[in-house]
C-alpha cells in the first residue's frame, strides 16, 4: 500500500491494519505543553495562567490519547514527570502536581477511561520522591485510579512518574520475589512487577525536541522505532500520526537489504545520496540566541533522482 492511500483511509480501517500488524506499544511523552499553551492561548495565559493551563492541558492530552487509541494502538506509555522538572522551581512543581492529580480526579479523564474502556497504570519511583513532600497524596490518587479502572479491558494507559532510573526499584522487586518464590524472577516476571501487569516490548516512541528516548524501563529493547516531532507534542495531528504509522508498519520492517543484489543504478543513487549528505548529522540543532529555545537544523539533502 502506498503512503497516500494509507493516509486517506477511514480511521477504523487504519486501526484494523495497525492491529493486524501486531499489538502495538507506543511511548508518547507529551512535552512542550507550556510553549504550546502560551502560543495558542495567549489571552488565557495572560488572564489566569495556572488555572487555564491546567484546564487546557487536561482536555488536550485526552484528545491525543483518543487519537492514538482510535488508530489501533491499544497500549500507551506516557511519561509525565521526572526529577529534572523539579529544577524549574516550586511554582512549576505545584502546577504539575495539580495536573497529575487530575489524571485520577478530573471528570473528563474519568469519562475518557470509561468511554474508551481504558485500564490505567502508574509506574516509576513516585513513592520515593513524593511521600516526604506536600504531594504525597498523589500516590494515593494514582492507586485509587488503578483500582477504579481495573475492570477495563480494551485499552491500557500507563503514566510514568519518576521512571528515569529503575535500578534500585528493580533490585528491591527481585529480592522480594526471591524471598517469596525461592527463585530469581525472569524478564516477564520483572516487567509484571514493575508495571503492575505484563507489557510487551515497545514498538515505537514519539518524542519532541532534542533526540532523546526515555522513561521506558525493561520494555525498551533497542528495536523500537524512534520518531521526533519538530513542534511540541500537543500539535500532533491525525495526518502526522498516520505518516508515523505508515512508516512503522510498511517502511521500516522491510527485510535487511542484500547489497549483493542491488542493481547498478541503486548503487549510483546510494553514492549520490551519501555524497550529498557528507558531514550532515541528524539531531544537530541550534539556538538563535544564548538562552533561546533549541530547534533542529535540516540535515538531509535529496539528490534529484530521489526527490
Does 197 have pLDDT greater than 80? yes
pLDDT given at position 254: 75
Does 198 have pLDDT greater than 80? yes
Mean pLDDT for 177-201 is 97
> For a pLDDT cut of 70, what percent of the chain falls above it?
99
Say how far apart CA 35 and CA 252 lie, in whole Å.
32
Domains, the chain, ordered by start: 3-251 (3.40.1180.10), 259-306 (no CATH)
pLDDT given at position 131: 87
* Of 27 and 81, the one with more pLDDT: 27
Say how far apart CA 175 and CA 155 lie, in whole Å.
31
CA dihedral of residues 44, 47, 52, 53 (deg, nearest 10)? 80
Least confident segment among 22-31, 53-62, 75-84, 272-281: 75-84
304 pLDDT band, cuts 50/70/90, is confident
- Say whether pTM exceeds 0.85: yes
Mean pLDDT for 13-22 is 97
Mean pLDDT for 128-152 is 94
Least confident segment among 121-135, 168-182, 220-234: 121-135
Q: Are 22 and 14 in contact (CB under 8 A)?
A: no
Does 255 have pLDDT greater than 70? no
Q: Are 248 and 203 in contact (CB under 8 A)?
A: yes
Look at residues 192, 168, 33 and name the one whose alpha carbon lies nearest to residue 100.
Answer: 33
pLDDT given at position 85: 67
Q: Name the average pLDDT for the chain.
A: 94
Mean pLDDT for 94-118 is 96
pLDDT given at position 86: 67
> For a pLDDT cut of 90, what percent of the chain falls above it?
85
Does 250 have pLDDT greater than 90? yes
* Of 61 and 128, the one with more pLDDT: 61
How far apart, in Å, do the first and last CA atoms of the chain sit? 20
**Cα torsion angle, 276, 278, 282, 287, sign:** negative
The upper half-sphere exposure of residue 142, i.e. CA atoms within 13 Å in the direction of its Cβ, equals: 25
Amino acid at each position: 500500500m502506498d503512503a497516500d492511500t494509507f493516509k486517506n483511509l477511514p480511521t477504523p480501517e487504519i486501526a484494523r491494519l495497525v492491529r493486524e500488524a501486531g499489538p502495538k506499544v507506543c511511548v508518547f511523552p507529551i512535552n512542550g505543553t507550556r510553549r504550546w499553551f502560551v502560543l495558542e492561548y495567549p489571552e488565557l495565559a495572560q488572564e489566569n495562567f495556572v488555572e487555564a493551563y491546567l484546564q487546557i492541558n487536561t482536555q488536550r492530552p485526552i484528545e491525543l490519547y483518543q487519537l492514538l487509541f482510535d488508530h489501533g494502538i491499544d497500549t500507551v506509555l506516557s511519561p509525565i514527570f521526572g526529577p529534572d522538572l523539579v529544577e524549574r522551581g516550586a511554582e512549576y512543581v505545584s502546577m504539575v502536581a495539580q495536573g497529575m492529580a487530575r489524571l485520577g480526579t478530573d471528570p473528563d479523564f474519568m469519562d475518557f477511561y470509561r468511554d474508551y474502556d481504558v485500564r490505567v497504570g502508574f509506574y516509576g519511583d513516585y513513592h520515593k520522591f513524593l511521600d516526604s513532600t506536600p504531594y504525597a497524596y498523589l500516590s494515593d490518587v494514582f492507586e485509587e485510579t488503578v483500582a477504579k479502572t481495573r475492570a477495563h479491558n480494551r485499552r491500557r494507559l500507563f503514566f510514568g512518574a519518576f521512571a528515569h532510573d529503575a535500578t534500585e526499584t528493580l533490585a528491591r522487586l527481585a529480592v522480594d520475589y526471591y524471598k517469596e518464590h525461592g527463585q530469581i524472577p525472569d524478564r516477564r516476571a520483572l516487567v509484571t512487577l514493575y508495571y503492575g501487569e505484563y507489557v510487551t516490548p515497545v514498538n515505537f516512541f514519539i518524542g519532541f525536541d532534542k533526540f532523546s528516548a526515555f522513561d521506558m524501563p525493561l520494555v525498551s529493547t533497542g528495536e523500537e522505532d524512534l520518531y521526533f516531532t519538530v513542534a511540541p507534542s500537543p500539535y500532533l495531528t491525525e495526518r502526522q500520526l498516520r505518516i508515523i504509522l505508515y512508516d512503522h508498519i510498511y517502511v521500516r520492517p522491510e527485510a535487511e537489504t542484500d547489497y549483493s543484489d542491488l542493481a547498478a543504478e541503486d548503487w549510483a543513487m546510494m553514492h549520490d545520496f551519501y555524497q550529498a549528505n557528507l558531514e550532515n548529522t541528524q539531531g544537530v540543532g541550534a539556538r538563535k540566541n544564548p538562552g533561546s529555545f533549541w530547534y533542529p537544523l535540516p540535515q538531509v539533502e535529496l539528490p534529484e533522482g530521489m526527490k
